[in-house]
Structure 1
Amino acid sequence: MGALGTADSSDVAAKRGIVAMLVIYSFSWSLGWAPLVYVLGAELPSSPLREMTLQIAYFVKLVTEFAVTFSYPYIETADTPGHVYLGGKLGFIYGSLSAVAILFGFFFIPETSRLELEDIDRKFDIPHDNVLKSLEDQTDGGKPTVAEGIHEQKN
């Protein structure tokens, strides 16, 4: 899209290409990164940390989506004073951010397909037995209830 934005502004084929790139971007965003917060936020953290992890992930997602949505009209068009006109060249900015996101996803987001929750815990080396034993030691010797275990983990 950025390369097409450098073409002559009267070139209809370049304008159609920019629109096609926006559609492809929107489609791939909806299938790729957009649901990733919800899927990985529900799969990766342990039960006591799941709520806090999802809160942080949702907050970061909403803040970044707001920043992009709020800044886009000011950068893309020059309708009023104070706006910057980049037009299709805006693709260079979003394309570079997408490249960084792809590298981040490849190197830092673990693959969880065909893994059960126990396998994910092993992947992160989270020994549930030690957590349960420490919870049992804090009680009167009996096994803690789920509510006691969650309460203890939060404290």
Structure 2
Amino acid sequence: MEHPFFPTTTTRAEALRWLTIAEKLLSKRDLMGSKSFATRARDSDQTLLPADQILAVADTLLSGDRRIGNNLQDWYSILQVSPHQGRDSELVAPQYRRLALLLNPHKNKFPFADQAFRLVLDAWTVLSNPSKKSLFDKELAFYMQPQPQPIAEFH
């Protein structure tokens, strides 16, 4: 028996309504809210490419807002790979291509798609260049080291 408040089946119309809400939230830069409704829309109707586009914008901007250490941009997070996965350029390149296609401002007309696209391009500029990537990895390793705990004094 289906719960009256939580139906297990959704219609395409409901998915489109959730997509509209996701777009409105994105335009107000409510990234978490937008992501929530876009995820609901995508889960309800796998054929909705706009849901994937909104999710790509929201995820990229959220990652772009995240900083490491001394205000260091997390390029791996922007491309949605872990630093460990980032060691393998064969994982980074397809992720860059996937995001670049989803975020291309000529095809993605959602708010902030151009900013998200720029972040992905900047991340690729660093992570595809061996010397820039090496420098970034060294900075990342420095800031990711566990910080020593202060020694407690006993009285």
**Do both share a fold (TM > 0.5)?**
no
- Structure with more relative contact order (C-alpha pairs < 8 Å, separation 6 or more): 1
TM interval, short-chain normalised: under 0.3
From the CA coordinates, give the structure whose radius of gyration is larger: 1
TM-score (structure 2 length as normaliser): 0.22
Higher helix share: 1
